[in-house]
Structure formats: C-alpha cells, structure tokens
Amino acid sequence: MDSKNFAIGVLSTTATILLVGVILVHSRSNEALADGMTATGGGYIVTVGNLTWNDEELVYVVDTSTDKMTVYRFDGNRRQIELVQGVDLAELKRASTPNDPQQPAQPKPRTRQP
C-alpha cells in the first residue's frame, strides 16, 4: 500500500465523519421554550412568562371561580418554587369600572301590564 493512497483514505474517512456530524447537528429540532404557553383545566388557567431584567421564569395561575391570580417563580439557587404575588382580579375589575355619580340613573324599560 502506498503512503499517498493511505493518506487519501484517511482524509476521505475523516471528511465523511465530519459531514455526518454537520448533518446531525443541523437536523436536530430547536430547543423547547415554554414562554407564552397556556393551559386550562377546570376553573384554572396556567400560563408562563419571563422577566427580562432578572432573566427569570414566572408561572401565573388564575382561579376563575374566585377571580384570584397567583404568581410563582422558581429559585434555581435554592431549588424551590416561591410565591411572588397574589392579585385579587375582582378588585381590579371594580377599580377599573368608572362610577360617575353625576351621570343620571338609566330609566327602567317599560313593560306592558296585562
């Protein structure tokens, strides 16, 4: 066997292995991201989001039967889930509804009496 043919064989084998590696790297699917996913079940809505300035992921749980939302985050250092905030959505709805005392009350609709 000639050393020239041996070198060509080694280089061809190396090129084939590298080509297969490049194909495998580019054929893999992208990593799964959980941002913006929402799930519902029963009286609950669960969605995830993130804060860019702290680079942390948050889980929002909304209880539609009591109109309350609870926010949790995962602390990677302590490996625990922490309660961030609880919000009463019914109170927010009441606060966002304008109560104008100077607006006259709406008249009751007339109905025919038999």
User: What pLDDT, on a 0 to 100 scale, did the predictor assign at position 97?
Assistant: 76
Would residue 82 count as lying in a domain? yes
Q: Which stretches in the chain have pLDDT values below 50?
A: none
- What is the gyration radius of the CA atoms in the chain, in angstroms? 31
Would residue 63 count as lying in a domain? yes
Per DSSP, the residues of 6-18 read HHHHHHHHHHHHH
Would residue 6 count as lying in a domain? no
Would residue 105 count as lying in a domain? no
pTM: predicted TM-score of the whole model, two decimal places: 0.51
pLDDT of 74-91, one tens digit each?
877 788 888 888 888 888
Where in the sequence is the domain holding 90, given as residue range(s)? Answer: 38-95
Would residue 84 count as lying in a domain? yes
Would residue 23 count as lying in a domain? no
| Number of domains making up the chain | 1
Evaluated on CA atoms 25, 29, 30, 34, the torsion sign reads: negative
Would residue 58 count as lying in a domain? yes
